[in-house]
Homo-oligomer: A and B are copies of this chain.
Amino acid sequence: MTELKALVEAFLFVSGSPLSIDKLAELAEADKVVIRSVISDLMEQYNASGRGVHLQEVAGGFQFRTNPDLAPGLRRLQKERPAKISPAALETLAIIAYRQPVTRAEIEYLRGVDSGGVMKTLLERNLLRILGKKDVPGRPLLYGTSRFFLEVFGLKDLNDLPTLKEFAALDPDLAEALPLEPNDQ
């Protein structure tokens, strides 16, 4: 019984989405009646006052949720949650890092998609800086990486960026790839 209770607690913790009695019984390979009593046990334990996490019945199942009384304090975390970098942003940042100085049009040519939104996010996060304007008709802005970029990636300078040759050496399949050197003239 104690182990079953621990298992149910762990299932609910890991699942994220609500788990029904049926589902829990199936996962824990136990009888529904037993699961039901384990659940009410856990609810009693968690829903006592002064707990940060409650076990709540929701959408036909059970789920751990934060105590609603703590909402004001918890919002501070939400704001600070580290924004995750999307694959699109990573790709764009990579192009800028290796190809700088580079214009938006050049980035979009390489990526094959509009990159304005992603570039705006990267600028807002201080990872890019504007290096000037390109001396061609339309005088498009030239982008490069910022000093903060070096800090985030722990690089001394742009020459510290690994070259493609170094990665190609790890994997013979990559050996035929394009030569890639940080472009820092």
Contact = CB atoms under 8 A, between A and B. Distances in A.
Interface of A: 2-3, 5-15, 27-28, 50-53, 64, 66-67, 69-70, 73-74, 76-78, 80-81, 104, 116-117, 119-120, 123, 130-133, 140-141, 154-156, 160, 162, 166-167, 169-172
5 contacts: A10-B52, A27-B76, A27-B77, A104-B170, A141-B162
A119 B6 CA distance: 38
Nearest to A81: B15
Contacts of A69: 6
Tell me what chain A mostly uses at the interface: helix, strand, loop, or mixed: helix
B170 A28 contact: no
Given A10-B66, A53-B10, A70-B6, A154 B131 contact: yes
A96 to B, nearest CB: 13
Given A132-B156, A133-B160, A160-B132, A14 B116 contact: no
B116 A77 contact: no
